[in-house]
Structures are given as structure tokens and as C-alpha cells.
């Protein structure tokens, strides 16, 4: 990814943060612990988790192109999955930038996991909005939205946590608490590893290579 692209995307994130701050929103908006708010330590990852089980494969979402997409149709390739939302003021843009730059590094080595962004805010994140949002980052991201039940079901498969912040304003400018890990998934659905969103691209690429 070009430096200019990173600067533009960071400016977008900064602008979003400023708008939300002016609206009086809280900055304590994200979580890094599976199904729980962050405790400051990384929980142990269970090697028995498979995100492509029979029930998960039937989960039907909507892509950023507006097409109906079954989760099971995405199996068969390595995937990098991130749960977030387009109104996220800082963590999500930084995460997508890190994923994009790590993918650029991996691509040079002939490795191209599929990057997937799953919204935890389907009320606001329509396919059209997801498409516009993801266009600010690296090409190739698949954005997924859907109804609340389907999103919740998929998040539970990943042991990912999210909820509307109890400190948020009651207007449309609310924030979401959410797990902010980057998940590495094997072609057979095995959850290989997950990484903090703050992992720098060279380190992220190196760690992904070590798992493949």
C-alpha cells in the first residue's frame, strides 16, 4: 500500500474520531477479549474451534456488493477475518490498514489470504455503505452485513464479543464495543490464530507465514 493511501485513510479515521468526539461520545469503545471485554491479557485460543461447521456454513449474510452470501461458500481458502463497523473512530481503520499492508507483503511471497470485514453494526452498515468504506482501503476486501441474528450467530462461532456501548448517545451517533482481533482461518475452517489489531504489518505478515 502506498504511503499516500495510508495518510488518506488515517485522515478519514481522524475526521471520524473528531466528529464523534464533538458529539460527546465515549472513547472506551472496543474490546479485545473473546466474548468479554478486555482484561489486558490475551485469552488462550482453543485449537478445537472450527468456524466452518455445519451450522456456520448455513449462515447467510449480504456482501458489500448486495449479493446473498453463505458463510460456507467462503471456505476452501485461508481467510483473515475482522469484526468491526464503519463508524468506528480509530481501531477499525487502523486494523484494515494493517491487514492491507500485511497482505501486500504476503502477496510478494505468492500468498493471498482472503480479507473479510464483518460488520457488528448492521443497523447502519448497509451493503452500499460497506462498499464505499472498504474502497478507502486495499482492494480485495469482502464486506459482510446482514440481520442482527445472523451477525450474532457468526460472531459466536468466532467467540467474538460486541454490543452497543452503554455510554453511547441515544441518537444515531452511537459507538459499539467489540472484539478487535484479526482472525486467521484455515481453508478447512480451523481457527489458526488471532492477532491484536495493533500488530504492525511486517510482524503480522511474518506471524501469518509462520502458521501457513
In this structure, what CATH number is given to the domain that contains residue 111? 3.40.30.10
Separation of alpha carbons 36 and 28, rounded Å: 14
**For residues 169-193, average pLDDT:** 85
* Full residue range of the structural domain in which residue 154 is found: 3-211
Confidence check: pLDDT of 11 > 60? no
pLDDT at 172: 73
pLDDT at 61: 95
Separation of alpha carbons 30 and 88, rounded Å: 9
> How confident is the model over 16-57, as pLDDT tens digits?
433 333 333 333 333 444 444 444 444 555 557 899 999 999
Count: domains in the chain: 1
Phi/psi of residue 69, nearest 5 degrees: -135, 115
130 against 15, higher pLDDT: 130
Separation of alpha carbons 168 and 26, rounded Å: 7
Query: Is this model's pTM higher than 0.85 or not?
Result: no
Is the CB of residue 120 less than 8 Å from the CB of residue 176?
yes
Report the Cα 186 to chain-centroid distance in Å: 17
Per-residue pLDDT band for 90 (boundaries 50, 70, 90) equals confident
Per-residue pLDDT band for 160 (boundaries 50, 70, 90) equals confident
DSSP-derived letter for residue 200 is: -
Per-residue pLDDT band for 130 (boundaries 50, 70, 90) equals very high
Of all helices (H) and strands (E), which one includes residue 14? helix 3-22
Cell reading at 7: 495518510
pLDDT at 180: 83
Amino acid at each position: 500500500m502506498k504511503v499516500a493511501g495510508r495518510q488518506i485513510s488515517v485522515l478519514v479515521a481522524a475526521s471520524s474520531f473528531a466528529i464523534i468526539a464533538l458529539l460527546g461520545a465515549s472513547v472506551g469503545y472496543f474490546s479485545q477479549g473473546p466474548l468479554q471485554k478486555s482484561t489486558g491479557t490475551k485469552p488462550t485460543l482453543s485449537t478445537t474451534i472450527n468456524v466452518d461447521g455445519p451450522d456456520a456454513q448455513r449462515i447467510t449474510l449480504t456482501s458489500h456488493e448486495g449479493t446473498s452470501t453463505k458463510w460456507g461458500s467462503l471456505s476452501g481458502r485461508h481467510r483473515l477475518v475482522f469484526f468491526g463497523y464503519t463508524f468506528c473512530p480509530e481501531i477499525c481503520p487502523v486494523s484494515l490498514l494493517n491487514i492491507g499492508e500485511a497482505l501486500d507483503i504476503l502477496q510478494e511471497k505468492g500468498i493471498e489470504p482472503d480479507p473479510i470485514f464483518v460488520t457488528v453494526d448492521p443497523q447502519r452498515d448497509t451493503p452500499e455503505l460497506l462498499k464505499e468504506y472498504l474502497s478507502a482501503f486495499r482492494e480485495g476486501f469482502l464486506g459482510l452485513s446482514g440481520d442482527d441474528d445472523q451477525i450474532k450467530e457468526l460472531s459466536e462461532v468466532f467467540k467474538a464479543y460486541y454490543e452497543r456501548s452503554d455510554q453511547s448517545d441515544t441518537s444515531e451517533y452511537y459507538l459499539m464495543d467489540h472484539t478487535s482481533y484479526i482472525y486467521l482461518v484455515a481453508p478447512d475452517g480451523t481457527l489458526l490464530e488471532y492477532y491484536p489489531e495493533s500488530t504492525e504489518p511486517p510482524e503480522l505478515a511474518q506471524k501469518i507465514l509462520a502458521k501457513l
